[in-house]
């Protein structure tokens, strides 16, 4: 009789890509993140993972993802253990499958931030515990939970809004925004040079979801067409981790900088328009990269101007904080033995 009361549609599931979840499941995690944020602000404990051990695997360096997973785990009562690129041997001295089996015998959950999506999938297949994708070259699901949580926090809804991503349309954030928006019924515009359009495979996945949700998708290199009617304007760095083709990207993407002129092209009232960025952002020359780009190419701002970054439209720091709350919701839902029989 009591067995049925332990039901949880998320328990034991890995979070590897947004396409593995329904709109209702994603909305539940987003709303749960907003709930846990309210508990955190009110100082109400929520130790759903008391006594659990969490492995944090980082092939790629990180500020927000590492900080978010660490604080989320501690808030939930779990113990996080960081394993950086010098601590793990995925595919080098030890196969990813062997690593998965070892870690799965010691830890209750595994976060993975690395290059290959296939490594995340092998960890999930062979560890026997939930694996959470903190970023791969293909997908960034934990960023999406925070992003759409931020959108809902600002607008009170998701369906029917229009989010425009401007920049490198082939990177993991653009992929994830296109597919997640399509699942959730959010209109997604990708405004990018043709050379950097999302792959046909990603576009086809998104189109399949959009047919069900009613989301309108637009991939274009025309700024006027792409920016029109946007509620959320989103950008990311022009060169992703592991890439080094700065000269090519600066040349290609300078016309796609998010500046005040671009925001005006939306035609959206100020109270219905926000700017988002997953960070870090090159909006001035206060970084080593920023100074190097200024010396080489004579520009002091890249994907977003400092004027937009510090404007009333900017929500990137709320978005960054929401990484913690949304990751907490995901971890608790998939590992916390909560009662979630359906969504």
Strands laid side by side in the 232-235 sheet: 217-220, 187-191, 162-166, 232-235, 274-277
How far, in Å, are 20, 131, 168, 274, 319 from residue 337 at the CA level?
20, 16, 39, 36, 27
Contact 90, 100 (CB under 8 A): no
Write down the catalytic residue from 140, 189, 283, 325.
140
Known catalytic membership, residue 323: yes
Known catalytic membership, residue 117: no
89 is in an annotated binding site: yes
168 is in an annotated binding site: no
Beta strands in 146-249 (DSSP E): 162-166, 187-191, 217-220, 232-235
Write down the catalytic residue from 66, 203, 278, 315.
278
Instruction: Kindly state the tokens that stand for 233.
Output: 């304007």
Write down the catalytic residue from 143, 203, 257, 316.
143
Write down the catalytic residue from 236, 249, 277, 283.
236
143 is in an annotated binding site: yes
Q: For the chain, give the number of residues.
A: 343
Write down the catalytic residue from 66, 189, 249, 323.
323
Known catalytic membership, residue 170: no
Write down the catalytic residue from 113, 249, 277, 315.
113
Beta strands in 38-116 (DSSP E): 53-58, 79-83, 109-113
172 is in an annotated binding site: yes
141 is in an annotated binding site: yes
99 is in an annotated binding site: no
140 is in an annotated binding site: yes
| Residue 3 φ then ψ, to 5° | -60, -40
279 is in an annotated binding site: yes
Known catalytic membership, residue 113: yes
240 is in an annotated binding site: yes
Structure letter (DSSP) for residue 205: H
Instruction: Kindly state the tokens that stand for 167.
Output: 């920049």
Known catalytic membership, residue 249: no
Known catalytic membership, residue 66: no
255 is in an annotated binding site: no
159 is in an annotated binding site: no
Dihedral of alpha carbons 152, 156, 160, 165, sign: negative
142 is in an annotated binding site: yes
| Binding site feature residues | 62-65, 89, 113, 140-143, 172, 236, 240-241, 278-279, 323
Binding site members for carbamoyl phosphate: 62-65, 89, 113, 140-143, 278-279, 323
Binding residues for L-ornithine: 172, 236, 240-241
User: Which residues are annotated as catalytic?
Assistant: 113, 140, 143, 236, 278, 323
């Amino acid at each position: 009789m009591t067995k049925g009361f332990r039901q949880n549609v998320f328990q034991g599931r890995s979070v590897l890509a947004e396409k593995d979840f329904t709109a209702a499941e994603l909305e539940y995690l987003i709303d749960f993140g907003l709930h846990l944020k309210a508990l955190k602000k009110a100082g109400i404990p929520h130790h759903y993972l008391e006594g659990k051990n969490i492995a944090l695997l980082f092939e790629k360096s990180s500020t927000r993802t590492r900080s978010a997973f660490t604080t989320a785990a501690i808030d939930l009562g779990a113990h996080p253990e960081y394993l950086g690129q010098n601590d793990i041997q995925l595919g080098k001295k030890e196969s990813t499958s062997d690593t998965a089996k070892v870690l799965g015998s010691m830890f209750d959950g595994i976060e993975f931030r690395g290059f290959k999506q296939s490594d995340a999938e092998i960890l999930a297949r062979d560890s026997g515990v939930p694996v959470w994708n903190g970023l791969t070259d293909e997908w960034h699901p934990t960023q999406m939970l925070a992003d759409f949580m931020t959108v809902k926090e600002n607008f009170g809804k998701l369906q029917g809004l229009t989010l425009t991503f401007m920049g490198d349309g082939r990177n993991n954030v653009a992929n994830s925004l296109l597919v997640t928006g399509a699942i959730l019924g959010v209109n997604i515009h990708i405004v990018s040079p043709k050379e950097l359009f999302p792959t046909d495979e990603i576009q086809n996945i998104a189109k399949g979801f959009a047919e069900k949700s009613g989301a309108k998708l637009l991939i274009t290199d025309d700024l006027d067409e792409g920016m029109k009617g946007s509620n959320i304007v989103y950008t990311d760095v022009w060169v992703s981790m592991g890439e080094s083709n700065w000269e090519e990207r600066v040349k290609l993407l300078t016309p796609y900088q998010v500046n005040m002129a671009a925001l005006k092209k939306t035609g959206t009232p100020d109270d219905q328009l926000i700017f988002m960025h997953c960070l870090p952002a090159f909006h001035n020359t206060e970084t080593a990269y920023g100074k190097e780009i200024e010396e080489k190419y004579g520009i002091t701002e890249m994907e977003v101007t400092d004027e937009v970054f510090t404007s009333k439209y900017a929500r990137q720091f709320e978005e960054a904080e929401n990484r913690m709350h949304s990751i907490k919701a995901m971890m608790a839902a998939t590992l916390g033995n909560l009662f979630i029989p359906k969504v």
